[in-house]
Structure 1
Amino acid sequence: MAKKQVKKEQENPSYAKKIIKWFWIVFAGGITSIFLLFLLASWGALGEMPSFEILENPQTNLASQILSSDGKILAKYYLNDNRTPVGYKELPKELVEALIATEDARFHNHSGIDVRGTIRAFAFLGSKGGASTISQQLARQLFVGEGSKNLPERLIQKIKEWVIATRLERQYTKEEIIAMYLNIYDYGNNADGIRSAARIYFGKEPKDLQIQESAMLVGMFKNSSLYNPRRNPEGVKNRRDVVLAQMYKYDYITEKTKDSLQKLPLALDYNPESHNEGLATYFREHLKGFLKTWISENPKAGGGKYNIYLDGLKIYTTIDSRMQQYAEESVEEHMTKLQAEFYHQNTKDRNKNAPFAKDVEQKSIDNVLNRAIENSERWKIMKKEGKSEKDILASFDKKTPMTLFSWTEKNNRIDTIMTPRDSILYSKFFLRASFMSLEPQTGQVKAWVGGINYRNFKYDMVKQGKRQIGSTFKPFVYATAIDQLHLSPCDSMPNGPFCIETGKYGLLEPWCPKNSNGDYEGMRTLKSALANSVNTVTARLMDRVGPANVRSLAQRLGVESEIPEVPSIALGTPDITLYEMLGAYGTFVNKGVYVKPVIVSRIEDKNGTVLYEFVPETKDVLSEEVAYTVVNLMEGVTQSGSGARLRSKGANKWNPMYDEIITGYPYEFKNPIAGKTGTTQNNSDGWFIGMVPNLISGAWVGGEDRQIRFERTKYGQGASMALPIWGLFMKKCYADESLTVSKDKFPEPDELTINVDCSKTTTKADDGTKNPNGNDKLDGIDF
């Protein structure tokens, strides 16, 4: 047949010329068609193409970063994309090499399209590898999207991808393309971009990644859903080893290095980044409220509003990541022990009302549970769906699978089957806690723990929750008396019973507070009276200065919560937040100057332009002398009062006689500490606020409802419930040499006319008699 064809061509030379002619026509037509297709694609005829401006500034959703005062990323705000870009110089060399070796070996030798790879892909129909360059993959991620299953559409997408890839190559350097590609990829588990991936999978910044870690992340480019290290660790390790083999193939590593690295396990250090997990969860939620207000008052220069989830803002907070970590650890360490004691007491005493106190009526318990049901997500969702109240209530008595909080289980979570009604009762068994720390001189908040676990208990007891504050209010009464009457900590008052009569301050009946320890003998110095929280002495001071003046001082100290003008506020009946109390106490340490607590130092946009910088809000409230005298009074609390256990040393011991734990307090602090404990009626709330010259910290502990409480004051007082959190926190801070928490004395004013040294003087009581308790060392229970 071939011989006939050759013979025919020899006999007819024009036939051969026709074949050659048509070959070139078809070839030229094909080239022209391809050129026209590319031209049409570039003109947008095959679908919208990115403009020059968009290529110059490709739009990706950027998470806003929340940064600590010590330069750590606390967390991020994002909707779908947890992305924070990094520059090429921040990428380790091995990561770039792994990427090029695996995805595009000729990356530095093409201009967006790998011709050799493309011809190979067409010739072998992709069986010997694809031809998609890093630039093409970036184009697909940024502008084209996932490939269509429809062949004509997929072909058009491929053409657009080629065109955009060549444009990207003209617009950006090779290094910029590498960085953009690593920043755009979704690695799964909220790890959008290389920085999030490095932090989430290995707990480090990209620049600190080791070779095998870089290889694992590059291996995930094949399919991050399939090669998910949490769900498919074996597959991910195999894929990582392929990447290492590619690095050896292209001479980036030696065979010996490849073999040794392939033997290593994945060694994940999984650090999930979600709104429910990580460091400072309660603080981050509170910060949203601050940012919402700031955004509403500060529009963008060109109009529109900033978006914390999309605009890549950098929010520099005052939180110190080390202190925040210590605060969260201290809350957990103490609350696990305290919770065990709470369970033990309710089990041992066979309390049928548990977790509510024995003396709480069933009607009150029912009211609490019904409120909880109506405030639950299940109720709200079913109500929105139009379900009847009867059907909704019935659903609360049907068992259903659920995940609940537990101090004893891994990750504090336990899977169980329970009725929603029982789950509400179960959750109320857990005592709640909050903790906050700030610098009194600057007002900068350094630690913020709003509860025991944000995923399960989202209500923030630092700023949202208000509870009766007990004796932590008493320093306001003493400060008013010292300011107005120029009293000394060494001045004495009778310890005996005292009543404010009917009619005074609008009282309808006499107000006669009792001392918690039943002691009404002799005289008390003011220092001893505050140290041991003597109610009758506080009532006498309140009677002399009046509720209106105490209320006025508290408000000038930054307390915004409602304080009624009644004498009983002296014992801490108002509901006030921990946030307000720490701001107020800061004034005493800061020489009488109130500094409004601050949580954000500055805000920058994604380009580093400063959008906000805080200006301290201050006001003079007390003289330096009065402020120092109040601090001196509160030092007595930790010297001889309910806070003296901070000076002790000892471990927890079991008392078989009473079948209970005797709590030890292994703090043994030697440095000056001022503070005040507080306990409310029936042991519902326990407080402690402690101060050193450059740091004030406070803790609150109690049940979700006031009817949930310890039966006995031994465990239900502030010195047992809240003070240990402060002690644990301060021990951790002092152990960290990178922190500069003071151990010095509180600075004394240059001119001090008020006598504060009761050991060197004999003072006179109000009635002129000699004070027998000038250096009282009695220990008392705080109320």
Structure 2
Amino acid sequence: MAKKSSEKSTSFWKYILYFWLLFISLVVGIVLIFMMADWGFLGKMPSFEELENPETNLATEVVSSDGETIGKFFHENRTPVHFDDLPENLIQALVATEDERFYSHAGIDAKGTLRAAVYLGKKGGASTITQQLSKQLFTDPTRVGIINRLKQKIKEWVIAIRLERQYTKDEIITMYFNIFDFTRGAHGIRSASRVYFGKEPSQLKTEEAATLVAMFKNPVLYNPYPDRFKQNSIKRRNQVLKQMEKNEFLTRKEKDSLQQIPLVLNFTPEQHDDGQATYFREHLKGFLKDWAKDNKKADGSSYSIYSDGLKVYVTLDSRMQNYAEDAVNRHLSNLQKEFDRQNKTNSKAPFRGISDAQIDRILKREMRNSDRYRRMKKRGASDEKIEAAFNEKHEMQLFSWEGNIDTIMTPKDSIRYYKSFLNTGMMSMNPQTGAVKSWVGGINYKYFKYEHVKQAKRQVGSTFKPFVYAAAIDQLHYSPCYELPNTLYTIPKGRHGLIDDWTPSNSSDDYGGSKTLKKALAESINTITARLIDKTGPKRVVDLIEKLGVDTKDIDAFPSIALGTPDLSVYEMVSAYSTFANKGVYTKPYFVERIEDKNGSIIYQHLPETRDAVSEETAYVTVNLLEGVTKAGSGRRLRTNSEYIKNLPHYKRAVTGYPFDLANPIAGKTGTTQNQSDGWFIGMVPDLVTGVWVGGEDRSVHFPTITYGQGATLALPIFGMYMNSLYEDENVQVSDGEFDKPDYLSIQIECDDLEDEDDEDDEDDFIEFNSDF
């Protein structure tokens, strides 16, 4: 009996020993597994340096001069925020929902892990915020299989512990918010807040914060946009609010009240085709790519504008940009209606004055320039097959001023449809600093990619005439009161390289008597401009505009340039006119103030480029001449005392924003080219110069008559609406005073008082010469 009792006792202690051996082995095994994971035997682990600087794709942010983010460049739309930028309700919502014991564990929640193991995850998972961060930063969630998933889980635990040692709790919270992909192009909490609610994270209301935190469970299933997921989003948001109540971040009354609030979004996508200053941002992208090629990081690698988290501080003012875009949209949406009305009886619409063969060449040229053509050509398709594809009908979405149109149309017909739209280029700059303040390169970047501020060059018409007058003032010391005959004038062949006699005529056939230079420019008299360029010589005029920043390599020094035959860009015209407003000093336009890296270090700083172009006296006298245009010429339509514009047929349908009510000193010039293909207005106040061009993408797309086809109707109203908006905004400082007068003037400027005539045909500034369309 004693023997059996002894054997039982021995067996008992043997089991105890086995148990402890097994337990110790298990513990040692687990520790060993974790050590092996830490040493990298289960796959590559992040180094100390990688933990210190985890690699994430950070968007380059474009910041306006008034501190607003107007765009981004990115592979992932992620702009990091600091902990201080996160509102308390957002942090509370995350902790209450994702990791209640976040502030008490060291990376792994033992209680949560045990609960998950016992209930097989039915009562919630065990991943802490730190584990979820480690998973997103340093592990590969795409690997499948139980063994791989177990390895991943062990690595998550190890990395989570290392993260907890490396960072504070606040830093871990911040990193997690910054790394998470909220979909819809919103990477990180700042982008998500802006995309879904149109505001910064610090401005989020509690119910909005809960909506974003709800997406951590599943950013697709609980996404508040589009509507098909809205109910899922609301249900999950309310669960987050319940968790906030459970963790005593909300009272029950607050929770019940917030759960009743409807889900209201301000969905504002931040893709490149969306938002403000789209054409400017595309031009800026080219600038940044060129800059990145020539500038390296400290380690010798190249900067990436898509992932290095740069901050680009630009000169654009977001408010001025908004007013510029608004003026373009208001005017052209109405002008387009009148343009379409007049095209109803045009059998070749939208083209005029060209043959069917020429129209076909235009359409084929556009086909060859299209992405569809390039894709098919790359696949080896023949021209016949490609052309056949352009004549097959497809479902497509078209732009219209009333909203996008879903329709079925052939690609070739869609090309012709888009040719029917009037387009625009508009730019403003400060003439003293060269800072570009607004830039509108077209009516809609998504549908019209061609940029009309710097990329496009069009004939400038009579906006070129002030350069001829400035040359005469600078070289011949002519006064605005100097008189010349208003008669037909011939420059004979042989002079200035002419191969035939050149006798320009006035558009109104108004001849006789003489006119002062001030009145001649105000009325845009062609014959007097011809006399002036004959006296100065066209070469002197070309030399002058080169000093004003114009690219002259394609401009032949013939007398006809006096009437505006050169093709120039809005960018060139604005910078050239700015020299007159800046007392004769040319200042090169610029649009990037500085660039900072992700750590805030300045890696680029703008340096101004200036040069003396004309004397201060010449500049002021030229400005004085241009003020006459807005007092008695076509530019007088900016004033309230002109009845001309109100009496135009259909005018109210074509132009909004009248009267412009601009009584302050404004210098400016309209321009209209042959067949009304191009309408221009360049306007100046002492600290802002603005240029506007309006026309069709092709020169054969235009109004049939000068009534609507002149610069004073096409382009000037955009300037008027824009300036009105600037002056109405007390937070935007734009001068409404006089231009600075030199201390000494040797040239007489006070001569005749220009009369404000109501002559309907006062736009004498279109070109009379043949042009190759």
How would you bin the TM-score normalised by the shorter chain? over 0.9
Q: Which residue identity is paired with 2:440?
A: V
CA distance in 1, matches of 2:256, 2:5: 62
Q: 1:461 aligns with which of 449, 452, 457?
A: 452
CA distance in 2, matches of 1:759, 1:380: 61
Shift of residue 651 of structure 1? 11
CA contact (8 A) 1:95 1:215 kept: yes
Q: Specify the alignment match of 1:392 in structure 2.
A: 386
Shift of residue 362 of structure 1? 1.1
Aligned residue for 1:559, secondary structure, equals coil
Deviates more, 1:188-197 or 1:645-654: 645-654
Q: Specify the alignment match of 1:621 in structure 2.
A: 613
Residue 679 (structure 1) aligned with residue 672 (structure 2): yes
Q: Which residue identity is paired with 2:72?
A: K
Q: Specify the alignment match of 2:131 in structure 1.
A: 136
CA distance in 1, matches of 2:43, 2:653: 75
Residue 172 (structure 1) aligned with residue 167 (structure 2): yes
Shift of residue 47 of structure 1? 0.4
Residue 597 (structure 1) aligned with residue 597 (structure 2): no
Q: Specify the alignment match of 2:346 in structure 1.
A: 351
Q: 1:386 to 1:595 in 2, by over 3 A?
A: same
Q: Which residue identity is paired with 1:222?
A: K
For residues 380-416 of structure 1, give each alpha carbon's deviation from its aligned partner in whole angstroms, at most 9, with x where no partner exists. 100000011111110011101111111111xxx2221
Matches within 5 A, 1:13-162: 13-79=9-75, 81-146=76-141, 148-162=143-157
Q: Specify the alignment match of 1:765 in structure 2.
A: none
CA contact (8 A) 1:528 1:776 kept: no
Residue 365 (structure 1) aligned with residue 362 (structure 2): no
CA distance in 2, matches of 1:712, 1:598: 38
CA distance in 1, matches of 2:309, 2:644: 49
Q: Specify the alignment match of 1:734 in structure 2.
A: 727
Q: Where do 5+ consecutive residues of structure 2 fail to align? A: 767-773
Aligned residue for 1:521, secondary structure, equals coil
CA distance in 2, matches of 1:285, 1:697: 20
Shift of residue 649 of structure 1? 6.9
Shift of residue 521 of structure 1? 2.0
Q: Specify the alignment match of 1:771 in structure 2.
A: none
Q: Specify the alignment match of 1:526 in structure 2.
A: 517
CA distance in 1, matches of 2:383, 2:142: 49
Q: Specify the alignment match of 1:697 in structure 2.
A: 690
Q: Specify the alignment match of 2:630 in structure 1.
A: 638
Shift of residue 509 of structure 1? 1.1
For residues 520-571 of structure 1, give each alpha carbon's deviation from its aligned partner in whole angstroms, at most 9, with x where no partner exists. 1221111111111110110110111010000000111000142210000000
Shift of residue 19 of structure 1? 2.0
Aligned residue for 1:699, secondary structure, equals strand
Q: Which residue identity is paired with 1:320?
A: D
Shift of residue 15 of structure 1? 2.1
Q: 1:40 to 1:708 in 2, by over 3 A?
A: same
Q: 1:718 to 1:653 in 2, by over 3 A?
A: closer
CA distance in 2, matches of 1:97, 1:88: 13
Q: 1:478 to 1:180 in 2, by over 3 A?
A: same
For residues 329-360 of structure 1, give each alpha carbon's deviation from its aligned partner in whole angstroms, at most 9, with x where no partner exists. 1111111011101000011xx11100001x32
CA contact (8 A) 1:67 1:317 kept: yes
Matches within 5 A, 1:246-325: 246-325=243-322
CA contact (8 A) 1:592 1:626 kept: yes
Deviates more, 1:479-488 or 1:148-157: 148-157
Matches within 5 A, 1:178-577: 178-231=173-226, 232-347=229-344, 350-357=345-352, 359-409=353-403, 413-561=404-552, 562-577=554-569
Shift of residue 663 of structure 1? 5.2
Q: Which residue identity is paired with 1:30?
A: L
Q: Which residue identity is paired with 1:19?
A: Y
Aligned residue for 2:215, secondary structure, equals helix
CA distance in 2, matches of 1:656, 1:547: 37
CA distance in 1, matches of 2:40, 2:77: 31
Q: 1:685 to 1:658 in 2, by over 3 A?
A: closer
Count of equivalent residues: 757
Q: Specify the alignment match of 1:583 in structure 2.
A: 575
CA distance in 1, matches of 2:4, 2:433: 101
Q: 1:116 to 1:192 in 2, by over 3 A?
A: same
CA distance in 2, matches of 1:451, 1:658: 25
Shift of residue 145 of structure 1? 2.9
Aligned residue for 2:634, secondary structure, equals coil
Shift of residue 149 of structure 1? 3.5
Shift of residue 180 of structure 1? 0.1
Aligned residue for 2:302, secondary structure, equals coil
CA contact (8 A) 2:636 2:642 kept: no
CA contact (8 A) 2:337 2:654 kept: no
Residue 607 (structure 1) aligned with residue 604 (structure 2): no
Q: Where do 5+ consecutive residues of structure 1 fail to align? A: 1-6, 761-773
CA distance in 1, matches of 2:645, 2:487: 37
CA distance in 2, matches of 1:657, 1:356: 23
For residues 295-333 of structure 1, give each alpha carbon's deviation from its aligned partner in whole angstroms, at most 9, with x where no partner exists. 222222221211101111111111111111111111111
Shift of residue 676 of structure 1? 0.4
Shift of residue 21 of structure 1? 1.8
CA distance in 2, matches of 1:8, 1:165: 53
For residues 440-475 of structure 1, give each alpha carbon's deviation from its aligned partner in whole angstroms, at most 9, with x where no partner exists. 000000001100000011111100000000001000
CA distance in 1, matches of 2:318, 2:66: 7
CA contact (8 A) 2:631 2:756 kept: no
Aligned residue for 2:463, secondary structure, equals helix
Q: Which residue identity is paired with 1:608?
A: G
CA contact (8 A) 1:651 1:663 kept: no
Q: Specify the alignment match of 1:766 in structure 2.
A: none
CA distance in 1, matches of 2:422, 2:208: 41
Deviates more, 1:48-57 or 1:222-231: 222-231
CA contact (8 A) 2:334 2:655 kept: no
For residues 707-727 of structure 1, give each alpha carbon's deviation from its aligned partner in whole angstroms, at most 9, with x where no partner exists. 100001010000000111111
Shift of residue 205 of structure 1? 0.9
CA distance in 2, matches of 1:183, 1:399: 45
Q: 1:618 to 1:662 in 2, by over 3 A?
A: closer
Q: Which residue identity is paired with 1:281?
A: T
Shift of residue 20 of structure 1? 1.7
Shift of residue 776 of structure 1? 7.8
CA contact (8 A) 2:587 2:610 kept: yes
For residues 126-165 of structure 1, give each alpha carbon's deviation from its aligned partner in whole angstroms, at most 9, with x where no partner exists. 0000010000000000001326441111111000000000
Q: Which residue identity is paired with 2:295?
A: N
Q: Specify the alignment match of 1:763 in structure 2.
A: none
Q: 1:293 to 1:661 in 2, by over 3 A?
A: closer
CA contact (8 A) 2:643 2:758 kept: no
CA contact (8 A) 1:441 1:595 kept: yes
Deviates more, 1:521-530 or 1:692-701: 521-530
Q: Specify the alignment match of 2:158 in structure 1.
A: 163
Q: Which residue identity is paired with 1:520?
A: Y
Shift of residue 661 of structure 1? 5.1
CA distance in 2, matches of 1:515, 1:306: 56
For residues 406-432 of structure 1, give each alpha carbon's deviation from its aligned partner in whole angstroms, at most 9, with x where no partner exists. 1111xxx22211001111111111111
What is the TM-score when the length of structure 1 is the normalising length? Answer: 0.94
Q: 1:655 to 1:671 in 2, by over 3 A?
A: closer
Q: Which residue identity is paired with 1:563?
A: I
